[in-house]
Structure 1
Amino acid sequence: MLNQYLGNYLLNHNLVDRDILISLLDENKKAHVKLGVLAIDSNLMTAKQVSEVHEMQKRFDKKFGELAVEKDYLKEADVDYLLNQQKLNSIQLSQLLIDHKVFSLEQLEEVLHAYRKENNFTDEQYRLMQKGDLNKILESMIQSQCDPLHIGKTQEYYDYVKLFLRNFVRFIDHQPLIADSNGKMFLEDAEDVIVASQEIYGTYNMVIYLIMKRETFIDFASHYSKMKINKRDELAEASVAEFLNLNNGLFTINMSEEGNPIMLKPPTILDEVDDLVLGSLIQIPIITGIGKLVLAIKPQ
């Protein structure tokens, strides 16, 4: 996860070209072997068991290892072993920047020093980032969106965005990058956008918007459905709506378990978001291997 946030810094400061960065992150993705594949390779689980756990992840907001232990397919020691094997297969973005001669060692040292200084990271915070504990950093990003809207209580928005990013990694693309940009400008123009929307109501009331250009919408649908989709049609719309409904369904389960019952209205597909509405949203612009999109939340 450190790779994504260092990538954000490089991109937002124009230190590396967007296409080069996406290419490097894709290379990292290919080197990052999923736990299920490692479990099969290590003869700890069968393909059928791995598939079953993957399906369970659509119903429960839990990591692969947690669910595999609950099903008695793996022991805690097995999960630790697989996680260590996964780390051995991982390549840090900093190493890729050197290997591809984007930076010299001296330039990389300067960039990393400036990155840590700008974000006021202590050594401990940086170590937590390397371990993937990005909650505090993500909360800061969300807070900067909430303050101008005079939103006091923000925990549910943190929780929602973190859940969305986890599910995006699981089902769509391994390397989402949060961009430091206004959502409308981020998509370059408001024409030819498609919006998947769903209202959440109960203890918390909000409307979720997933905004993207037509090409990204089609690729999003293909990745989630694991089918070849070439145009915006009923299948494409149903696939994106299903992802949003799946994510929000997991959110309702999480909130209900905390004593905050909420419910969902059916998702809808729109062709635009009104400018006035867009200005009142918490906007999270995201860069991915399939294109740009904006996750937006409208507090009710």
Structure 2
Amino acid sequence: MRDHTADAATEVFVAHRNLLFTVAYEMLGSAADAEDVLQETWLRWVKVDLEQVHDQRAYLVRITTRQSLNRLRSMKRRKEAYIGPWLPEPLLTTSDVTADVELAESMSMALMLVLETLSPIERAVFVLREVFDVGHDEIAAAVGKSPAAVRQIAHRARRHAEARRPRTRISPRQTRAALEAFQRAIETRDPQKLLNVLAPEVALISDGGGLKQAALRPVTGAEKVARMFLGGLGKVEGTLTGEPTVVNGNPALLVRLDGEIDGVLAVRVEGARITGLYYVRNPDKLTHLTSHTPLTLR
């Protein structure tokens, strides 16, 4: 009987694993921490009496949310000691993630950075409500708040996010076009072409984690960003190339130095110009770029 119960628990967990990973990653911005949360979720799930669980998916999401909240609080201390800006860990994703507009938008570096400005509870409520369309009562059970409090938190978090996210939705084709123009300007080292594709208020955020060279603070303004890129190219020892790819459901560039992965460059585009550049160089955050990570909202 015990083996049969364990097999049933395993079957249910595996069936929902991709969803649970997506929930944890959206809340944490770290694949490594999301994997740890899934392990903790599994350890608690196998102790549950399945006959007492009416909605297994909801119950698993509830466990994952609680473990993610615990992890978020411990991650805050790590981020405070982090060297330079902290960016989410990029994930190589498949075309089906890109095709799911809601999922791709929620996974974008731009929105993930907005989520970093929320409190742990606000982030959990926002992710569950706005991304996964979980009901207020179910969220309340997951975060230990009343449904009325959850509604207030959801409203506050949504208002905060809306004030900071791109004003218009940009298609993957438009993002690819901006990235291609950026890449051509870099390859030809043409400062005017680079300025043409960068918005005047563009911000560059680079994450080396103290392990790779990166700006310790965001660089803002088209001319400053252009000088940093073009000036940095002259100091590179080796051959630097940019390979179009899809990261977090959105077009990006996989940057290689002498054939080895050096980093990932993601962008935020508004109109036809780049308003945000996010360059992840920390090697500890580049481990999920050799195979696709399955993600889902369901």
- TM-score, with normalisation over the residues of structure 2? 0.20
Q: Which has the higher contact order (CA 8 A, sep 6+)?
A: 2
Give the alignment's TM-score, normalised by structure 1: 0.20
